[in-house]
A and B are shown apart, each in its own frame.
Chain A
């Protein structure tokens, strides 16, 4: 079995240099691996596909926000696995599912399988975005959801382009925090 390391790493490097199509392919591919990983891990805690999908979205958001932290001198698989496992442990702690330790797994576990059957998850990111401070909401809504360019969004809300970029960046981080709170309650 060949691991997807080489292919995914090439996508990640392109994504880091701002290639949106590569970023999209990367996140699509990773979402399938993450789904298979979380379904398998959560099964032992009596959790199902909905929670697995929650975690897939949390991990994708984290991968997106933290993609600058990937060092091209290293393998990509352990980096993805570290984030996936961190989010799994954090989720189990928040939901107080179990005090038991998460079994140790190998980095390659994350790429072992893929699963393209996406289910509904429990929270709606669109609704959570509405809870963000107004500038972040506007910036993410215009650029990420409607697909306006940064310049168009800046004109619409009479903000500077850097302000829109910063609002998107901070907004996605704030969104990740909101998701974490949502999944706890």
Chain B
């Protein structure tokens, strides 16, 4: 078939397009990812039962707020990156803000505590569980998000992959926060921030393979 025949064929009986399709597809995937992550966390680890105390409730809210901010900002970038040329002229500055803010708050919190407490504040009780759980819970959400982004047309697959990993990591941290009983800002900065970063790197590495269209 010659190119002008292809043009003719493609122009026959044209349907109007739905411009909001990518936004809705990625948005739906984020919602499904959150539901999946909560289910895995609840069945596998169980929800913490001690958040009735004000102290625990405050940290639960801090963790949830951090994760929700990461997810919201990263999802906006991911929607843009899912369209051709969406990576153009947009440094991902805002994606770093929740991490920088958490590190800053962690530093302030360490500064106001005696140095003998630092080890406990940073390492906590369950650092290993956190290190393993967030990436593991992120797997299925990541698959769901990859499915959505693949239906669109990202043209920078490394960056689109990184943001897919970032959203998946954020979603996983959101779910894990309901289980986690380590209540300190340095713990959130190091283990939540670090594992979400791991998910982001994994996404960037896998992006070129998984997101081709």
Contact = CB atoms under 8 A, between A and B. Distances in A.
Contact of B10 (A23, A120, A126): A23
Interface in B4-38: 4, 6-19, 21-22
**Chain B interface extent, by class:** 20 to 34
Given A56-B3, A144-B9, A81 B85 contact: yes
Contacts of B82: 69
Contact of A27 (B1, B7, B13, B16): B7
A111 interface: no
A70 B13 CA distance: 20
B15 A18 contact: yes
A83 B155 contact: yes
B7 A24 contact: yes
A61 B124 CA distance: 54
Interface in B69-108: 82-86, 88
A172 B12 CA distance: 13
A80 to B, nearest CB: 8
Interface string B196-213: 000000000000000011
Interface string A66-93: 1111111010001101110110001000
Contact of A78 (B12, B15, B85, B213): B85
Interface residues of A, number: 52
Interface string A9-35: 000000111111101100110010001
B12 A120 contact: no
A73 to B, nearest CB: 10
Interface in B83-142: 83-86, 88
Given A15-B14, A17-B16, A120-B2, A69 B155 contact: no
Given A68-B19, A90-B212, A147-B12, A60 B7 contact: yes
Contact of A121 (B3, B16, B19): B3
B3 A57 contact: yes
A62 interface: yes
A183 interface: no
Contacts of A56: 3
A118 interface: yes
A24 B22 contact: no
A125 interface: yes
A35 B213 CA distance: 21
A68 B18 CA distance: 6
B42 interface: no
Interface of A: 15-21, 23-24, 27-28, 31, 35, 53, 56-57, 60-62, 64, 66-72, 74, 78-79, 81-83, 85-86, 90, 107, 118, 120-121, 124-126, 143-145, 147, 149-150, 165, 172, 176
Given A31-B7, A69-B152, A79-B85, 15 more contacts: A17-B16, A20-B12, A23-B10, A24-B8, A27-B11, A53-B3, A60-B7, A60-B10, A66-B153, A69-B21, A69-B153, A78-B88, A85-B155, A125-B6, A150-B13
19 contacts: A16-B16, A16-B17, A20-B13, A23-B10, A31-B3, A31-B7, A57-B6, A62-B153, A69-B82, A69-B153, A72-B19, A82-B85, A82-B88, A86-B84, A118-B3, A124-B1, A125-B6, A149-B13, A176-B213
Across chains A and B, which 3 residue pairs bring their CB atoms closest together, nearest first? A82-B85, A18-B16, A68-B17
Interface of B: 1-4, 6-19, 21-22, 82-86, 88, 152-153, 155, 212-213
